[in-house]
A and B are shown apart, each in its own frame.
Chain A
């Protein structure tokens, strides 16, 4: 069974549409001026050199299910929502993605010299890239599941519903977050910030 993946340096395709959506565009309502469009395109192409994707996943066997807690072979996942999500699952895949620190250092540099517009767009590009990386991982997992004739639940991240942010530290511990360059701040923030953690249930037979 190989839901255990570690991929580096994937070139994720950053969708301009998705970046614009991040920046608050409503399709059909917002009229985006050409100048801003060009700026987004330019920054997307520049961003490629600042994005260094790492994605990682690991599947854990579920050993006990309670109403408010899922116990796996290595960690416990608290909350009603996660228990509901995993009620038909035999395993849970823990995963994380990051795009590295280069892009957010550039955002910081831009915002410090008051280039707020560029900083904001680049920041949205970073968020889009981190999500896209996670989608990419999700697709690979679905492909693997497809081959095995099993189903996966939807992806669920800390911070959704009652699934606490504090669990990120545990998730990264089982994924060896340090080795892929993701840390957690004392206030449970991921560093680099353009990182995502999630869990996905594996439903068997």
Chain B
């Protein structure tokens, strides 16, 4: 028997749940039975073979060092896995293929977890060795939630002494994502790049997402697909009876799956119905896959000719002294910030070049890659002329990246192409030959074909090769040679890329030259642009050029970014009154308006009564009715406070307008922000606020109160555990300064507490605090 991807093959159903059904205690681990009661394991296998399964899965899901160690079984690891394979072989007796199951390790690989990548590789290798010696026909890396862990498994299984087909299956939960954020499309594109023999999905919370998940995977790969859902959501394992499961299986078949079976909760009966209906059927044909994919753990970037893709060029220490210095010291702050900024500015891929002299660039590349995985989701372009530096980034990259670059020189091709092949990356090829940069279009095109042909001898299809026909400074070479090379290559369906900014080297008005050259290159057929995406005009040039070159059909993307056409006759902005400006929290305009009012003879103090107070009351009302939320309240208060400064400037004798309030967060409590918001609102109504900060002892509050003689003391605490300190503080103040009003607030406080602790009032929110203050001070 062998894998046949032309026709549907049936995979077996659950092992664990079948063992539990036969009396395995829930605290025991199933793998132990391979040694203690192999006949029970074999019985389950046989029942699936008889039900019609073409592939059965070994009882070794948790047979790795980490999981076995937690049961003190790590000493028997090899035996457990070898036996798992042998028992399945005995049960299959040539009627079914045996798939060696490898489940998640139980510890997350870096950077999500703390398990070093190479250690994960070793652990999978160890388990794979036992399964291989026991005689498995293929490996099944299943129920994976982290694509990084899958990569470790694939590398491990490929390093075993004998090669067997590898199938990888991911588990998707809510939102059709793995819990680490990988979608079916991303998983499919990534595993395809890694050249697994089949890929797919199993387990998960909801079996009914499978048809959609499989359809999405199928439209991103030509690789065979495996699908084996649970027989129900986690709390209702038996919800999907065999007949209903068959209906689901048929949907999955129509979505394009090649191998179909069951996971948790499925029984031989489920499998026998699937086998009777689907086994041996011709596999559903898939829609043609369009484009080339680049992936990270959580992002898919597609080149399909409808958009010029942007490769952010900033992370390159050449000519950037500060970045070079930081990298030399092993610091990565600027590198991370550059990556984030470029991603936000619209880069599709981020180029990563750590080429500083006198450092271990391999370990720097590894460290930089790890750090970037934490802060950006764009796929990376690994940039170096040293294959070992490139490999140290590629090896633990959880996606499909780009290699930048090889030349057309023999030794460069021999070093770089095997990397692209082994790790499944696209590659940029520079049209540089042993003789240097060719001067004619014909020679550059010939160099390009040399790269493409050499790549194809390594099994790298021409879709994965992107040719850089080289940008030379326009002052010293003809730009038209580069442009014509692009035109010729793109007519033959070859993808191209340019580092754009070199064109203007040594010229004035560099930005203008760069943007013009970029537009011309796109017109000639350029596929990728290596640029600084923080230059807005370059991004805009690409948008406009993609539209004019017919890539962005009907200019939909252009319009959505640039905005629709404005009416020619611009209507004059309506004059907004000061009150409206305060409500909207538009500080600058409001201040200008207030200045204007004062200059036109308005009494400064009356500005407050005529505009500010009514505006704030309106805001308070809207806040109460939830039409406004907290940021709007704060914005208005900030605007009002700024206007008070204007008023004070024009009324020099004015100190506090309404009254003086001393505020503090009580001892033991570190929450400051809520109290500051209340202070700001009070200030905007004209009160003078003296804020002592947080974690303030009662004695200190009393001392300050005696010194400045406030009208009101406002105390805040957020934690129930600091209520006692609040009580103590109120008592101390009331004993010493009974005439000062005390207001309390904060998440832990309520009306009842306020009364019980002796405070004069409770401010539920900033506006209630204002009302209390008005009542006490303005009377």
Segment of A3-11, A65-73, A80-88, A170-178 engaged in the interface with chain B: A3-11
Segment of B381-389, B445-453, B522-530, B718-726 engaged in the interface with chain A: B718-726
CB distance from A22 to the nearest CB of B (A): 9
Most buried by A among B107, B628, B673: B673
A117→B113 CA distance, assembly (Å)? 35
With A33-B584, A45-B344, A186-B668 as known contacts, state yes or no: A9 contacts B374, CB within 8 Å. yes
Pair B70/A1 contact, Cβ less than 8 Å? yes
Pair A8/B669 contact, Cβ less than 8 Å? no
Pair B234/A142 contact, Cβ less than 8 Å? yes
Judge if B256 is at the interface, Cβ distance under 8 Å.
no
Segment of B270-278, B549-557, B631-639 engaged in the interface with chain A: B631-639
Judge if B507 is at the interface, Cβ distance under 8 Å.
no
A71→B104 CA distance, assembly (Å)? 31
With A20-B629, A139-B179, A165-B720 as known contacts, state yes or no: A116 contacts B638, CB within 8 Å. yes
Q: Which residue of A lies closest to B370 (CB)?
A: A9
Pair A143/B171 contact, Cβ less than 8 Å? yes
Residues from chain A with Cβ under 8 Å of B353 in the complex: none
A32→B671 CA distance, assembly (Å)? 26
Q: Within residues 35 to 70 of chain B, which ones have a CB less than 8 A from any CB in chain A?
A: 66-67, 70
- Picked from B375, B630, B673, B676, the residue with its CB within 8 Å of the CB of A49 is B375
Pair B111/A30 contact, Cβ less than 8 Å? no
Judge if B677 is at the interface, Cβ distance under 8 Å.
yes
- Picked from B111, B344, B629, the residue with its CB within 8 Å of the CB of A24 is B629
Pair B234/A120 contact, Cβ less than 8 Å? no
- Picked from B103, B234, B298, B719, the residue with its CB within 8 Å of the CB of A151 is B234
Judge if B204 is at the interface, Cβ distance under 8 Å.
yes
A-B contacts counted at CB < 8 A amount to 163
Residues from chain B with Cβ under 8 Å of A16 in the complex: none
With A6-B114, A165-B721 as known contacts, state yes or no: A185 contacts B668, CB within 8 Å. yes
Judge if A74 is at the interface, Cβ distance under 8 Å.
no
Pair A49/B340 contact, Cβ less than 8 Å? yes
Pair B630/A24 contact, Cβ less than 8 Å? yes
With A49-B336, A150-B26 as known contacts, state yes or no: A30 contacts B67, CB within 8 Å. no
Question: B89-130 vs A: 1/0 string, CB under 8 Å?
Answer: 000000000000001001110011110000000000000000
CB distance from A53 to the nearest CB of B (A): 9
A201→B340 CA distance, assembly (Å)? 39
Pair B113/A188 contact, Cβ less than 8 Å? no
- Picked from A6, A140, A150, the residue with its CB within 8 Å of the CB of B179 is A140
- Picked from B336, B669, B721, the residue with its CB within 8 Å of the CB of A166 is B721
Q: Which residue of A lies closest to B631 (CB)?
A: A36
Most buried by A among B143, B204, B205, B628: B628
A153→B111 CA distance, assembly (Å)? 29
- Picked from A1, A6, A116, A151, the residue with its CB within 8 Å of the CB of B677 is A116
Q: Which residue of A lies closest to B181 (CB)?
A: A13
Chain B interface size range: 35 or more
Question: B464-500 vs A: 1/0 string, CB under 8 Å?
Answer: 0000000000000000000000000000000000000
A148→B631 CA distance, assembly (Å)? 45
Question: B57-90 vs A: 1/0 string, CB under 8 Å?
Answer: 0000000001100100000000000000000000
With A117-B635, A120-B677 as known contacts, state yes or no: A48 contacts B375, CB within 8 Å. yes
With A6-B114, A45-B340 as known contacts, state yes or no: A149 contacts B237, CB within 8 Å. yes
CB distance from A132 to the nearest CB of B (A): 12
Pair A149/B264 contact, Cβ less than 8 Å? yes
Pair A29/B634 contact, Cβ less than 8 Å? no
With A111-B676, A120-B673 as known contacts, state yes or no: A147 contacts B264, CB within 8 Å. yes
Pair B629/A107 contact, Cβ less than 8 Å? no
- Picked from B265, B625, B628, the residue with its CB within 8 Å of the CB of A149 is B265
Residues from chain B with Cβ under 8 Å of A146 in the complex: 203-205, 230, 234, 264
Residues from chain B with Cβ under 8 Å of A40 in the complex: 631
Pair B67/A147 contact, Cβ less than 8 Å? no
A159→B720 CA distance, assembly (Å)? 9
Q: Which residue of A lies closest to B666 (CB)?
A: A187
CB distance from B114 to the nearest CB of A (A): 6
Judge if A23 is at the interface, Cβ distance under 8 Å.
yes
A39→B670 CA distance, assembly (Å)? 26
Pair A11/B626 contact, Cβ less than 8 Å? no
Question: B707-722 vs A: 1/0 string, CB under 8 Å?
Answer: 0000000000001111
A140→B204 CA distance, assembly (Å)? 11
Residues from chain A with Cβ under 8 Å of B111 in the complex: 8-9
A8→B111 CA distance, assembly (Å)? 7
- Picked from B66, B173, B634, B670, the residue with its CB within 8 Å of the CB of A117 is B634
Q: Which residue of A lies closest to B586 (CB)?
A: A35
Q: Which residue of A lies closest to B297 (CB)?
A: A11
Judge if B561 is at the interface, Cβ distance under 8 Å.
no
Q: Which residue of A lies closest to B343 (CB)?
A: A45
CB distance from A99 to the nearest CB of B (A): 13
Pair A30/B626 contact, Cβ less than 8 Å? yes
Judge if B135 is at the interface, Cβ distance under 8 Å.
no
Judge if B419 is at the interface, Cβ distance under 8 Å.
no
Residues from chain B with Cβ under 8 Å of A29 in the complex: 625-627
Judge if B680 is at the interface, Cβ distance under 8 Å.
yes
Pair A165/B719 contact, Cβ less than 8 Å? yes
Q: Within residues 567 to 619 of chain B, which ones have a CB less than 8 A from any CB in chain A?
A: 584-585
CB distance from A10 to the nearest CB of B (A): 5
With A30-B627, A143-B179 as known contacts, state yes or no: A204 contacts B638, CB within 8 Å. no
Q: Which 9 interchain pairs have the tightest Cβ spacing?
A: A2-B106, A187-B668, A24-B629, A146-B234, A205-B26, A26-B626, A117-B634, A24-B630, A187-B721
8 A-B residue pairs with CB within 8 Å: A20-B629, A23-B631, A30-B628, A48-B340, A120-B677, A139-B179, A149-B20, A187-B669
Q: Which B positions have Cβ atoms within 8 angstroms of A? A: 16-17, 20, 26-27, 66-67, 70, 103, 106-108, 111-114, 143, 145, 171, 173-174, 179-181, 203-205, 230, 234-235, 237, 264-265, 298, 336-337, 340, 344, 373-375, 377, 584-585, 625-632, 634-635, 637-638, 668-673, 676-677, 680, 719-722, 725
